[in-house]
Structure 1
């Protein structure tokens, strides 16, 4: 057996490989932000070499790195997650070193959790996520009433917001933008800092088309696993990367990966100046159920004021791209128009900039 670990940092990724005794198998490899394709090819090459020698390769990530497992599992790699309680302390910004991630599997293979396509990075922790969300309900409602959280807001107009998570992610982000442009629809993109650092052209195109660009953390971590300084650094570094690409002071809306939250996390967020954005419609397009299933789920769940969760990043998003025209046309057939999240009005509103109503031109 051979064990690889994939770590993240402020500039990209590191891959280290250990043998069954915990000894390095060659030097660590480093990949710049945006180099996920090259990283995947590197691991696939190693997998082939080890297989010819009769060895199986497993790859280990941690819960603070939710932007690589979709691509890796989709490519046919065996990916596992190491949780904080089996790892040493993290640095101030970044995951533990790649060799430490691989070492967790060497020390106790039963302590790491297998990730498979369609299960997501938090496989095996669903009950914990649900319990944390339930425990946060009262705090979340206070934030919503104070205007610090957009979610389940009533709307008097037949408007919805299309939102896209986890990009920029060529080529799928560009294909999403093509569809939005053809249909004259504004959208909101919740971007991951490591991707934003590498794909400035996609951000510039979003901004030029009038789409909203917002924060989805630096590395897509499960927020309850972070300390307060780590959480704030995730937000601040992502704001800086987005602002460097599109100007201004950076976006002040933020979507937590997985919707992850606890009362403690919400308390930290209340002390910042960002508005949290959740979602009302989830077709689970990230699990690749098929374009028709994505379309049907959106149309079945839509309501005035809905925040519709879709993905342009995190792996192969061809099904989302394929579904998007039917989603837009189906919603318009039902009388809906579209708005960015920051322009989506509440109950009793009569409209605001950044919206398209049925039959109106592109904003």
Structure 2
């Protein structure tokens, strides 16, 4: 068996491959930000090479890297997640190095968690996440009352906000922007820094069309696994990448990946100059249920003041782009208007 690790950095991704003795089994490789497809092709090539020699390949990420496992799983790679308690400390900015991720699986494959298309990056940790969210209810309510968190705020006016996470991600971001342009509908894009760094043209197009651009971290980590300094760096680097593309000081709204939070994480966010944005409507388009299912789920769940969560990044989002006209036409037919998140009526 061969073991690969995929790490993220301030400029892109790194891949390392080890054999069963923990020795390098292939040259290390680096990929620029936004080159998830190139990472996928590189690993598939290694998988074919090792298969000819009768060896299989497993690939390991950590919980601070939520932007590659979906595409790699769908490509047919065996993906695993190594959690902080089986890894060495992370650097100041970046995941655990790729070789250390691979080494965790070399030491004990049972210590890392198998991922799948249907499970998402946090496979096996859903109960923990739910418990952390439940423990955060009081802190979140205080933030809502102070106007520092937007979520589940119904209003009398029939207006909703379309939001798209995890991009920019060509060509799907462009297809979604085409649909929004066609209907003259504003939206809010919660962008990942690693993608914002790579796809400036998409950010420029969002800004030119009047869409809101917001922060979704640099690498899509599970926030409870970060220190305060790591969280601040994730937000600041992403703000800088967006500001470099479209000007200004960067976003003032932030969506936590997976909605992950603890009372401590919320207290850190409350200290920063940002408003946390969650969601009310989730059609689970990331799981690729089909365009009709996405449209139907949005229309069934929508209500005045709703924040609708969809995705333009994280893999193939053709179903989301295909579903979007039906979502818009269905809501317009029910008398709804559309607003950016910062334009939603607040109680």
Match of 2:161 in 1: 161
Match of 1:87 in 2: 87
Whole-angstrom distance in 2 between the partners of 1:190 and 1:266:
18
Match of 2:17 in 1: 17
Residue deviations 1:110-155 (CA, integer Å, cap 9, x gap): 0111111121100110000100000000100100010000101121
Determine if the alignment matches structure 1 residue 346 to structure 2 residue 342: no
Structure 1 residue 334: deviation in Å? 1.0
CA contact (8 A) 1:281 1:308 kept: yes
Whole-angstrom distance in 2 between the partners of 1:322 and 1:303:
22
Structure 1 residue 59: deviation in Å? 0.4
SS in structure 1 at match of 2:203: helix
SS in structure 1 at match of 2:308: strand
Match of 1:130 in 2: 130
Match of 2:269 in 1: 269
TM-score (norm 2): 0.99
Segments of 5+ residues of structure 1 without an aligned counterpart are 348-363
Whole-angstrom distance in 2 between the partners of 1:154 and 1:317:
29
Whole-angstrom distance in 1 between the partners of 2:209 and 2:118:
32
CA contact (8 A) 1:4 1:99 kept: yes
Whole-angstrom distance in 2 between the partners of 1:72 and 1:40:
6
Determine if the alignment matches structure 1 residue 45 to structure 2 residue 45: yes
SS in structure 2 at match of 1:88: coil
CA contact (8 A) 1:5 1:17 kept: yes
SS in structure 1 at match of 2:279: coil
TM-score (norm 1): 0.95
Residue deviations 1:159-203 (CA, integer Å, cap 9, x gap): 000000000001100000001001110000000000000000000
Match of 1:361 in 2: none
CA contact (8 A) 1:150 1:278 kept: yes
Match of 1:236 in 2: 236
Match of 2:56 in 1: 56
Determine if the alignment matches structure 1 residue 289 to structure 2 residue 327: no
Whole-angstrom distance in 2 between the partners of 1:174 and 1:135:
39
Match of 1:179 in 2: 179
Whole-angstrom distance in 2 between the partners of 1:77 and 1:184:
40
Whole-angstrom distance in 2 between the partners of 1:183 and 1:79:
39
Query: How many pairs are equivalent?
Result: 347
Whole-angstrom distance in 2 between the partners of 1:309 and 1:146:
23
Residue deviations 1:201-230 (CA, integer Å, cap 9, x gap): 000000000000000000000000000000
Match of 1:222 in 2: 222
Whole-angstrom distance in 1 between the partners of 2:269 and 2:342:
18
Whole-angstrom distance in 2 between the partners of 1:292 and 1:150:
28
SS in structure 2 at match of 1:326: helix
Match of 1:322 in 2: 322
CA RMSD of aligned residues (A): 0.6
Determine if the alignment matches structure 1 residue 111 to structure 2 residue 111: yes
Structure 1 residue 306: deviation in Å? 0.1
Structure 1 residue 285: deviation in Å? 0.4
CA contact (8 A) 1:118 1:288 kept: no
SS in structure 1 at match of 2:165: strand
Structure 1 residue 25: deviation in Å? 1.1
Structure 1: 4+ residue segments shifted above 6 A? none
Whole-angstrom distance in 2 between the partners of 1:54 and 1:183:
54
Structure 1 residue 58: deviation in Å? 0.5
CA contact (8 A) 1:81 1:114 kept: yes
